[in-house]
């Protein structure tokens, strides 16, 4: 066996690989932090900006789909 053991840690080093339970707990904890941050109150102007950005994204997706459809239709482009 090499210097790395089954747990992939070097004997005598301070680092050890996290166990499955520790890794799962870290994932759950980071998920809870993300959820709590998303629940924080946001100012009205920020909410308006987010809604406007979402609307622009939706409009761009529709335009993109229309352009792709026209490109694959075989019709010449309109000017």
Q: How far apart are CA 32 and CA 38, in angstroms?
A: 10
pLDDT at 1: 45
What pLDDT, on a 0 to 100 scale, did the predictor assign at position 71? 78
pLDDT value of position 11: 61
pLDDT of res. 57: 95
pTM of the model: 0.40
pLDDT at position 29 is 94
What is the model's pLDDT at position 10? 58
Give the CB-side neighbour count of residue 16, counting CA atoms within 13 A.
9
Q: What is the per-residue pLDDT for 61?
A: 93
DSSP string, the chain: --SS-TTS--TT-S--PPPHHHHHHHHHHHHHHHHHHHTS---HHHHHHHHHHHHHHHHHHHHHHHHHHHHTT-PPPP-
Whole-number pLDDT of residue 32: 95
Low-confidence ranges of the chain (pLDDT < 50): 1-2
């Amino acid at each position: 066996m090499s210097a790395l053991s089954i747990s992939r840690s070097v004997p005598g080093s301070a680092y050890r690989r996290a166990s499955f339970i520790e890794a799962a707990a870290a994932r759950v904890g980071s998920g809870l932090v993300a959820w709590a941050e998303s629940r924080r109150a946001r100012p009205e102007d920020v909410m308006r900006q987010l809604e406007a950005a979402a609307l622009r994204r939706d409009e761009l997706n529709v335009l993109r789909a229309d352009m792709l459809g026209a490109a694959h239709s075989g019709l010449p482009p309109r000017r």
